[in-house]
Chain A
């Protein structure tokens, strides 16, 4: 009989092996952010030494927070891959060993990531709360199977609360300088969420799966049609010019919404950002006594500019999700591999342009209305933002240019680099900081580079193996 200790050690050892890394792109993301952390420390530490926290302002990108988030997400991905398989239940001691090993690694990561913050001279309690809060997201972003309803609700609640927090102005300062009783509360809550995110009830998971299968099998053949208004709205949402209807859909868009659908979803995102900014401003206004309108304007101008970057993050995954490709390829219209690869890149480019225009148009409209940029500059800044977006959308394709085999890790890293470029060199933000020249040069360079990748990558893609069976 193998002892529980031996099982635990075996489970723990896997975290230091290839088993943990393979098929777990979040590991690469965490490492990429970790590499950027010393630069962040260099910027933040001197200010803290002189008693100023300006560098921690919410507009400052914090790679340590992202490293912790992605680190936790990678542990979750690996853990659920281990325990989610049906065979896991049948191995005595396996589930407990994996749980204990997973929690141990989380604990170790927690300590390791708190150290850089302490090194900067930040308070211990706040630093712990900061890392713990990032774990909340890392643990929460992954759907978990086989949980009780209250467990699911609590996870959603905690993640939503955390999401609200990170859109608050100066949230990093607030979190890092929390009084220790409050910081302790954050750590305890986050810890509970992490444990919750690794809790599953084996019988419940199985029952959920069986119920879903039998429900699907037993479902009667439905002939119900949506109401007239709903059908019209749906038609409007899905309307596409003929050329688009005949272009393969990048799976990251997941459904064939047309230009109007993209615009509508962008408007919804803008509305959500504005509401979020208003909530933040109201809370801060009550807490600090500052004027609501000033706080709202500041938050809204900044938050709206994150929308193109967020949209980019979704689009840039397209090369890692190729489940649809066999169906497009085998249907026959494209014939050979090169023609198909070109068609996929062409369709992706068109979708990137549509998404860019769809998201940038309302963002720039509100940036002008909120007085972030003058109306005269709104047009050309918007155009620059679209061009930069389209160029950056090809970031994840860059590794195809020199890698014979496309790897998930390097693709994720390239996607993150594109996201960071978009976030840090946003032409609107550069223009506001009196760097109009830099805004033009950066945006145009990225656009040209993106077009070059779009032109060169299909040939490389055609020289690689493609997944074809349910990957």
Chain B
């Protein structure tokens, strides 16, 4: 079987262009466009129903878009050649498959389905997973099943990992260790990750970029370094009834992302300390965490 030459170079691992996916009358993805470069760990953030899982489904090739394209390593997501598919790994929200298999048996069995026979799982990964190889999958707890699916996704050392709520059923220790494992896995490499999670404090530590989605669209896309440097709350000081009007009149390169109606504060992108002079005593600057930004941006 021959495969069409890649459409794009591998400067981007993922290229999503005007992706639309409609379920019945609902537009789950409404013209989404995004690309992911090698080495990026992208946090996919959005409220329930924002289109995160649909996006992941299209990227993996399980869902067919109504229009637009989702390309991975330059190939259409549904038509990846084996060697490109073999460079991907996927951790689903829940692992409910293969209940009758034993853990070790399943790891061996699935090993035959990789494009290239994978090496045995990394001992450090197995030590983290702490699974009984003789246990049946159906007898594992939710967290243990999730650790098993993480082992399966990492074992062939993929270049692009898609993680859909990978830590939701893990205990805090396992969650923290997994995040460290993920950071180690990507450190100094060109491996890319798309990770969806509602535990934003975890993502904040490992992500290099945050992709905020709502109503099937990307509503904000920012590298984490920029997020830390230039996204700020501008909060009116106690005496001031409102924010200075000149702050957002276009003269300063600030992009408003949301407003807290209770305090009158606005969340802006593009802040730099040189702008402090414009505030005088009329407003304070506060640094938001990812969760606060998420709540405002995806509102």
Docked-complex contact A213 and B92, CB < 8 angstroms:
no
Q: Taking the complex as formed, is A328 at the interface, i.e. its CB lies under 8 A from any CB of chain B?
A: yes
Q: Taking the complex as formed, is B144 at the interface, i.e. its CB lies under 8 A from any CB of chain A?
A: yes
**Cβ of B122 to closest chain A Cβ, rounded Å:** 17
A337 to B98, CA, bound (A): 21
User: Which one, B36-44, B82-90, B231-239, B247-255, is touching chain A?
Assistant: B82-90
Docked-complex contact B93 and A463, CB < 8 angstroms:
no
Docked-complex contact B140 and A469, CB < 8 angstroms:
no
Q: Taking the complex as formed, is B9 at the interface, i.e. its CB lies under 8 A from any CB of chain A?
A: no
- In addition to A221-B131, A333-B114, A335-B79, 10 A-B residue pairs with Cβ atoms within 8 Å of each other are A222-B135, A224-B134, A246-B112, A256-B101, A330-B88, A334-B82, A336-B81, A336-B85, A468-B57, A468-B63
Docked-complex contact B64 and A463, CB < 8 angstroms:
yes
Q: Taking the complex as formed, is B95 at the interface, i.e. its CB lies under 8 A from any CB of chain A?
A: yes
Docked-complex contact A255 and B100, CB < 8 angstroms:
yes
Docked-complex contact B113 and A332, CB < 8 angstroms:
yes
Count how many chain A residues have C-beta atoms less than 8 Å from C-beta atoms of the other chain. Answer: 43
A337 surroundings in chain B (CB, below 8 A) = 61, 78-79
**Cβ of A466 to closest chain B Cβ, rounded Å:** 5
Q: State which residues 121-166 of B face A: CB under 8 Å.
A: 130-132, 134-135, 139-144, 152-153, 156, 164
**Cβ of B135 to closest chain A Cβ, rounded Å:** 7
**Cβ of B73 to closest chain A Cβ, rounded Å:** 12
A221 surroundings in chain B (CB, below 8 A) = 130-132
Docked-complex contact A468 and B132, CB < 8 angstroms:
no
Q: Taking the complex as formed, is A91 at the interface, i.e. its CB lies under 8 A from any CB of chain B?
A: no
Q: Taking the complex as formed, is A329 at the interface, i.e. its CB lies under 8 A from any CB of chain B?
A: yes
A420 to B253, CA, bound (A): 72
Docked-complex contact A216 and B134, CB < 8 angstroms:
no
Q: Taking the complex as formed, is B272 at the interface, i.e. its CB lies under 8 A from any CB of chain A?
A: no
Q: Taking the complex as formed, is B1 at the interface, i.e. its CB lies under 8 A from any CB of chain A?
A: yes
Docked-complex contact A254 and B152, CB < 8 angstroms:
no
Docked-complex contact B114 and A217, CB < 8 angstroms:
no
Q: Taking the complex as formed, is A327 at the interface, i.e. its CB lies under 8 A from any CB of chain B?
A: yes
Q: Taking the complex as formed, is A326 at the interface, i.e. its CB lies under 8 A from any CB of chain B?
A: yes
Docked-complex contact A468 and B113, CB < 8 angstroms:
no
Docked-complex contact A469 and B53, CB < 8 angstroms:
yes
Q: A326-B60, A332-B115, A463-B64 are in contact. Are A251 and B97 (CB under 8 A)?
A: yes
Docked-complex contact A335 and B85, CB < 8 angstroms:
yes
The 6 closest A-B pairs by CB, nearest first: A332-B86, A468-B62, A331-B113, A216-B141, A332-B85, A335-B82
Q: Taking the complex as formed, is B8 at the interface, i.e. its CB lies under 8 A from any CB of chain A?
A: no
Docked-complex contact A465 and B94, CB < 8 angstroms:
no
Q: A254-B99, A255-B100, A337-B79 are in contact. Are A330 and B90 (CB under 8 A)?
A: yes
Q: Taking the complex as formed, is A49 at the interface, i.e. its CB lies under 8 A from any CB of chain B?
A: no
Docked-complex contact B80 and A468, CB < 8 angstroms:
no
Partner of B63, one of A223, A251, A323, A465: A465
User: Nearest residue in A to B89 (C-beta to C-beta)?
Assistant: A330
**Cβ of A324 to closest chain B Cβ, rounded Å:** 4
Docked-complex contact A468 and B78, CB < 8 angstroms:
no
Q: State which residues 303-347 of A face B: CB under 8 Å.
A: 323-324, 326-339
Q: Taking the complex as formed, is A179 at the interface, i.e. its CB lies under 8 A from any CB of chain B?
A: no
Residues of B that sit less than 8 Å from A by CB: 1, 3, 53, 56-57, 60-64, 78-90, 92-101, 109-110, 112-115, 130-132, 134-135, 139-144, 152-153, 156, 164
Docked-complex contact A327 and B152, CB < 8 angstroms:
yes
**Cβ of B86 to closest chain A Cβ, rounded Å:** 4
Docked-complex contact A468 and B92, CB < 8 angstroms:
yes
User: Nearest residue in A to B1 (C-beta to C-beta)?
Assistant: A339
Docked-complex contact B134 and A223, CB < 8 angstroms:
yes
Partner of A217, one of B94, B143, B156: B143
Q: Chain A: interface secondary structure? A: loop
Partner of B92, one of A216, A328, A469: A469
Docked-complex contact A470 and B93, CB < 8 angstroms:
yes
**Cβ of B66 to closest chain A Cβ, rounded Å:** 11
Partner of A470, one of B78, B85, B92: B92
Contact with B along A190-228 (1 / 0, CB 8 A): 000000000000000000000011101101111110000
Docked-complex contact B79 and A336, CB < 8 angstroms:
yes
Contact with B along A124-153 (1 / 0, CB 8 A): 000000000000000000000000000000
Partner of B82, one of A216, A222, A324, A332: A332
A462 to B78, CA, bound (A): 9
Docked-complex contact B93 and A469, CB < 8 angstroms:
yes
A332 to B113, CA, bound (A): 7
A219 to B113, CA, bound (A): 30
Partner of A335, one of B81, B90, B92, B131: B81
A326 to B61, CA, bound (A): 10
B141 surroundings in chain A (CB, below 8 A) = 212-214, 216-217
A462 to B81, CA, bound (A): 15
7 contacts between A and B (CB under 8 A): A246-B112, A254-B99, A256-B101, A332-B82, A336-B61, A464-B64, A468-B60
Q: State which residues 423-471 of A face B: CB under 8 Å.
A: 462-470
Docked-complex contact B57 and A335, CB < 8 angstroms:
no
B95 surroundings in chain A (CB, below 8 A) = 470
Docked-complex contact A326 and B62, CB < 8 angstroms:
yes
A213 surroundings in chain B (CB, below 8 A) = 141-142
B60 surroundings in chain A (CB, below 8 A) = 326, 329-330, 468
A212 to B152, CA, bound (A): 24
Docked-complex contact A470 and B94, CB < 8 angstroms:
yes
A212 surroundings in chain B (CB, below 8 A) = 141
